[in-house]
Amino acid sequence: MDAGIADLNHAAEQLWLAAQPDWPTLSVEVLPEVGSTNAHALALGRDGARDPVVVTAWRQTAGRGRAGRQWDAQPGQALTLSLALPLALADVPGGGSALSLAVGLWTAQALDALRADASAPRLQLKWPNDLWIDDRKLAGILIEAIQGPALAPEQRWVVIGLGLNLADTPEALRSERTDAATGLGLPLTPGQAMAAVVPAWLAGLRCFEHEGFAPLRAAYDARDTLRGRPVALWRHMQGGAAGSAPPDAQGIAQGVDAQGALLVDDGLGALQPWSIGEVSVRPRSGA
């Protein structure tokens, strides 16, 4: 663990120094162990935090994804990371609901840039919050927001969480999950992964606040793994996962709109928008 913590501490120091010109109040917390980096960051907001903070941990014991799903990660084999900051999401052009799509895109671009053949994008995006390689999950994003007591009325304390598989995916999970070492040929430490991802997030957030998702739409479309594929959709999670009940809709995914909603061809000549927070999407069997 000592070497792992040292790696994260070194990355945190370099990240903090590089961010000072544009983010002078940013802090970086490196924890030996935490239940959930997102939960820790949310607690900071409830306690009155108002300055942006990055939280990472060597060991995460109660990681979670969307709809309360458990997210397991072994120390050193994954990056567990959260960035928390005040954002006026309602003032974002087009709305802030596409933030998870934007974060996924920035993460994919940052990781692909580390590859020797960066000209050939490898990472794909699965709406609304997953990074995939060849239909296997590499990473998941979880965004949560609360009304922090120290913030202006229009602001929310927004926490952006990332779980990124780095190495040693268990054999039993390899049909559905992959890691950076296997899928990208990138043997990254958690510190190296953090050093690549967080600066991309910080740079992207500055633009997202003022321009929204629309300028990112074409780049997202180029990595959209669902586009043109049959999908099944559920409006509500069933026991934490979709698929245990008949889907509410089925159709062909046709990309996303300028607000980040998934567009689904219902076969009746109309594109139906499905918004983040209302639906779980999975390619149908045979897709």
Q: What domains are there in the chain, each with its CATH number? A: 2-221 (3.30.930.10), 230-283 (2.30.30)
Closest by CA position to 15, among listed 57, 54, 59: 54
Average pLDDT over the chain reads: 90
User: Which residue carries 């709305």 as its tokens?
Assistant: 95
Using alpha carbons only, how large is the chain's radius of gyration in Å? Answer: 18
- Note the residue count of the chain: 287
Question: Cα separation of 144 and 156, whole Å?
Answer: 10
Section 226-232 average pLDDT:
92
Give the model's pLDDT for residue 246: 82
Give the model's pLDDT for residue 158: 98
What number of other Cβ atoms are within 10 A of residue 174's Cβ? 12
Ranges of beta strands (E only) in the chain are 27-34, 53-60, 78-87, 124-126, 130-133, 136-146, 156-165, 230-234, 249-256, 262-265, 271-274, 280-283
Give the model's pLDDT for residue 120: 66
* CB of 44 closer than 8 Å to CB of 127: no
Give the model's pLDDT for residue 257: 95
Q: How far is CA 183 from the centre of its chain?
A: 18
| For residue 242, pLDDT beyond 70 | no
* CB of 110 closer than 8 Å to CB of 81: no
User: Which residue carries 């799509």 as its tokens?
Assistant: 101
Give the model's pLDDT for residue 121: 66
Section 87-108 average pLDDT:
95
Structure tokens at 120: 């050939």
pLDDT tier for residue 269 given thresholds of 50, 70 and 90: confident
Q: Which of 51-55, 74-78, 137-141, 216-220 has the lowest mean pLDDT?
A: 74-78
Give the model's pLDDT for residue 195: 98
pLDDT tier for residue 239 given thresholds of 50, 70 and 90: very low
**Parallel, antiparallel or unpaired: strands 280-283 and 136-146:** unpaired
Beta bridge partners of 251: 231
Q: Is the dihedral of CA 217, 219, 221, 226 positive or negative?
A: negative
Structure tokens at 93: 């052009």
Structure tokens at 40: 């820790």
Section 156-167 average pLDDT:
97
* CB of 227 closer than 8 Å to CB of 44: no
Residues annotated as catalytic (active site), given as ranges? 66, 137, 282
Classify the phi-psi angles of 203: left when phi > 0, otherwise alpha if psi is within -120 to 50, otherwise beta: alpha
Give the model's pLDDT for residue 129: 92
Beta bridge partners of 29: 55
Section 65-91 average pLDDT:
81
Largest CA distance in the chain: 59
Backbone dihedral angles phi then psi of residue 224, each to the nearest 5 degrees = -75, 105
Question: Cα separation of 92 and 259, whole Å?
Answer: 10
Question: Cα separation of 95 and 259, whole Å?
Answer: 7
Q: How far is CA 157 from the centre of its chain?
A: 17
Give the model's pLDDT for residue 198: 98
